[in-house]
Structure 1
């Protein structure tokens, strides 16, 4: 059977897209339907929940950071071997950069490119019939994006649901569910978003509750009827989003280091690379038979004391870096520095492979798309190569150290952001999260 797809989107962030997406995934899997998730834009945390509920890695699709062939390759791979691909939108459906057209990083770019029917999640807390104006406006804004139905969220009562449903259906847009308010279904959050799936106590029980409420409050048959086969352009497989830094890659993987994009991993493996996990929090170092080491982002600031005490990890990484490349992204970059100051103001020794110091006590949010042009050959590419990705962190650099800057940075509009990251010998790192090595 051909895979079908749809998108769960909303007018704005905070409307309940993730909760509704997880509820639909859980309920359909309970029915025995092979479902898989995907996510538009830069996001590590929501895809991890998709994977936990479906058993399949959830890739990211980003129209600004990824070339058209790469997008098509990722979409084709995501749609392979499942009955239904549910793509969760980031932010609001039409939110992104001001340009270029169809490559703004907006969820609507992905919906239009693959003709994905959109189910619009409308939070109707504080309104009733006025929800129809929101739904109608979204349905008419872009003829390339089809609103196939509306899911009402945070519904207070049957009468409340009836008010909004009657007004919306009068415009010709079907309402396929009215999800009631339930404080018990609130997902715990921290500074970068939801608490990670791997740290969520009782995730199986939560999935069961979400599935039960979805069966009660949503018209699952109508939702399935909305889905259509993604319109994927036939194309040769793209080169990996990021060339693997080695044949055997040691990858830090635990509660402090977990932000590694599924499409990056898939591309490395497709290119013949092998990934070997190790846990710095478990005081483990990279395996000696690996030829590159990758420290992903995550939450090292929550585990700085344990990382500082992990002498075996630190010594093994320092030894590894004398002969082989080591790269750290965001949290990994912080751990490569001399020290990390936690939110309580306590400073912890890090690996010292780079000379900077970072602090989570002095907080400032850094958020947005980035293009990085490398100044030197390193684990993530050759000098002169440009990579696209994003930053999202609250840590600040309190001492830049004396290492060579790694790259020249620009934002999503091409405005200069100055030098970023650092390089010393075989070691490189940056706050920048890579989505692709963009041509």
Structure 2
């Protein structure tokens, strides 16, 4: 029977991902089967999890997914020895209005699955106050149980002793302390970590993190703190209709943000996915019946995309007879023009009238609930789609017919409606699930 544990923290940037990867690799090196999940809407961390464990990781999200969907997804850990769910932001951070089964907080997943929480605490600039923070998190929500803490970025042995004493007095187990000077860092960029597939040395980085954590953390004690867990079967599985029987999926460094559970659901429903690289000037497979452009970093490659005539002409020819859909960065590439951070305007595919700019950065971040005004690949008009939007572009023009009425998590209507023109559709949000 596998054991489950949630890795969380009081805030973002404390070291959750590094600790998750290090624990996963260290236990794998001991011969254990480790399964990871990511709580919340993150398309980057699951690839790191897979690199650390050798097993695919997927997202579980209480705002967008019902309990049956979450149970179905975590069921992949049934044959593992230890299951780790990495949280997002702080332990209780979610949105104000409840979604399908929660607010999107990591605590929802911990309570739903009955897995205790391992907290990563950064006591920089404090000592005993770190114990007060940990105790507050422990006592904030009765259904969420604290396994203990790992301290990160400890300044000295004296600093560690002060924090440990305070945590022990509060009845909170300390599994280890990571010195500040030896911190392991993963490269970052404006939407989060640099993707695992872009880092040739990712295996060595994870090995080094595992070695470092094994020196300073009691791995056996952490493992004992995890809760035995019996996966509950979910007969309904995922409520996902693939966008087509044969899907041409853009996939390279500019087009990589797609949730793993969506691809798996498409394949499970019988769809065949063929990938192509716009950066390599490849066109979508002519035998496909739908083309899907996920998000990613097209703004970093806008000049190359604009120069790749075979890709753009092939995409236009495809759209004359078959559906094409783009999410976020993919939506921008389907538009008329994209202005990069240096203010250079690049011609895009021109299948939609959308014009975007990164010259004036404006963050768009949050959950989205869209009611489709017209069909899009895989979804009928009137369908309620749940997704997440995260980008730094400014909309200069969005002249086409709106695809949907889109609300944020508070219920407010937002301007990023998506677009439709002919066989082409696009949204700024990344699809996570459709309401059942």
- The alignment of Structure 1 onto Structure 2 pairs a total of residues equal to 435
Partner of 1:40: 39
Which residue is 1:170 aligned to?
169
Structure 1 runs (4+) greater than 6 angstroms displaced: none
Distance 1:391 1:376 in 2: 20
The residue aligned with 1:57 is 56
Tell me how far apart the structure 1 counterparts of residues 244 and 269 of structure 2 sit (CA, whole Å): 10
Deviates more, 1:121-130 or 1:200-209: 200-209
Distance 1:343 1:274 in 2: 36
- Any idea what the Cα deviations from partners look like across 1:61-86, whole Å, max 9, x if unmatched? 11111122111111112x13322111
Paired residues for 1:197-236 under 5 Å: 197-230=196-229, 232-236=231-235
Instruction: Report the Cα distance in structure 1 between the residues aligned to 2:311 and 2:202, rounded to whole angstroms.
Output: 30
Structure 2 CA distance for aligned equivalents of residues 412 and 328 of structure 1: 22
Offset, 1:230: 3.5
Residue in structure 2 matching 1:266, options 264, 267, 270: 264
Deviations 1:91-119 (A, max 9, x none): 10011122439611111000000001100
Which residue does 1:343 correspond to in 2?
341
Cα offsets for 1:205-260 (capped at 9, x unmatched): 211210110110110001111112346444313343x3100111111110000011
Which residue matches 2:403? 406
Q: What TM-score does the superposition give when structure 2 sets the normalisation length?
A: 0.97
Pick one of 402, 419, 427 that aligns with 1:430.
427
1:93 equivalent among 91, 94, 108: 91
> What residue in structure 2 maps to residue 375 of structure 1?
373
Could you tell me which of 320, 323, 327 is aligned with 1:322? Answer: 320
1:165-222: CA deviation from partner (whole Å, max 9, x where unpaired): 1211122211111112246622221111111111224212211210110110110001
**CA apart distance, 1:277:** 1.0
Corresponding residue for residue 157 of structure 2: 158
1:135 Cα deviation after fit: 1.2
Decide whether the 8 Å contact of 1:30 with 1:211 is kept in 2: no
Unaligned runs of 5+ in 2: none
Query: Does residue 170 of structure 2 align to residue 190 of structure 1?
Result: no
2: CA distance between counterparts of 1:238 and 1:198? 29
CA, structure 1 residues 432+200, in 2 after alignment: closer, same or farther (shift >3 Å)? same
Tell me how far apart the structure 1 counterparts of residues 183 and 150 of structure 2 sit (CA, whole Å).
20
Query: Which runs of 5 or more residues in structure 1 are unaligned?
Result: none
3-state SS of the aligned residue for 2:20?
A: helix
2:274 aligned residue (270, 273, 276) = 276
Counterpart pick for 2:255 among 254, 257, 260: 257
Change (3 A) 1:253 1:111: same
Quote the residue 1:121 is aligned against. Answer: 120
Alpha-carbon distance between aligned partners in 2 of 1:432 and 1:385, rounded to the nearest angstrom: 15
The answer to whether the Cα contact below 8 Å between 1:157 and 1:180 also exists between their aligned partners in 2 is: yes
Whether contact under 8 Å (1:115, 1:231) holds in the other structure is no
Q: 1:297 to 1:182 in 2, by over 3 A?
A: farther
